Amino acid sequence: DHEGKVPVAGEAAFVGRRRQIQGILREFRAPKAERHAGVLIRGMGRQGTSSLAARVAHRLEPTHETVVIYGRYDARAILAAFGNRIATPEVTAIVDQWLPQVRDTPSQLLPALTALLEGPCAQRGNNGSQPVLLVIDDFEQALEGCENGPHVVDEDVIPAIRAVLQAFTNAETDSRLLFTSRF
């Protein structure tokens, strides 16, 4: 991330994940009808999930702008991250238009993300538009542990994550979605 909140291994310390990187990039290049909403990198803490995401972002860097969500996974934080990272007039206008609505009604994140993903973040263009790689990092922070089963998404962030998944599934875009999580 560009704010330095997420520690990642440098290139010299990060080795042996070439197949995983190639698999993720292959999924990202698949035709829309054959690909999923995004990719989940799951692994134990301090084992390189964020570093793997950083290497993927680096590989996509020439064609994609990276937006990292870390720590807060609510609708307002997700939409604000687009505005903070991509300060083009088109993105700023969409974020400014939708942010008050998203603050009051988190389900409004879906039309806001759709406007971004099918608008200025759809594909690389002459007007400075560029697709994004949305990295939702350390998503285990938004999960609640269950004694008798798998972890579940915290109720407060379900509408936001549902909107993200639907937006990336439905949008005609070159933008891509990547989650990292321990669980």
d(CA 111, CA 120) in angstroms, rounded, equals 14
Taking CA atoms, 142 is separated from 120, 151, 166, in Å, by 28, 10, 18
The CA dihedral of 78, 80, 50, 151, to the nearest 10 degrees, is: -30
For residue range 65-79, what is the model confidence (pLDDT) as tens digits? 999 999 999 999 999
The confidence band for 8, taking pLDDT boundaries of 50, 70 and 90, is low
What ranges in 34-157 are assigned the alpha helix state H? 49-60, 75-85, 89-104, 109-117
Q: Whole-number mean pLDDT of the chain? A: 88
For residue range 85-144, what is the model confidence (pLDDT) as tens digits? 998 999 999 999 999 999 999 999 999 999 999 999 998 876 667 999 999 999 999 998
Single pTM value for the model = 0.88
d(CA 113, CA 104) in angstroms, rounded, equals 16
Q: Using an 8 Å Cβ cutoff, are 169 and 37 in contact?
A: yes
d(CA 22, CA 28) in angstroms, rounded, equals 10
For residue range 24-37, what is the model confidence (pLDDT) as tens digits? 999 999 998 898 89
The confidence band for 2, taking pLDDT boundaries of 50, 70 and 90, is low
In this prediction, what percent of the chain has a pLDDT beyond 70?
88
In this prediction, what percent of the chain has a pLDDT beyond 90?
68
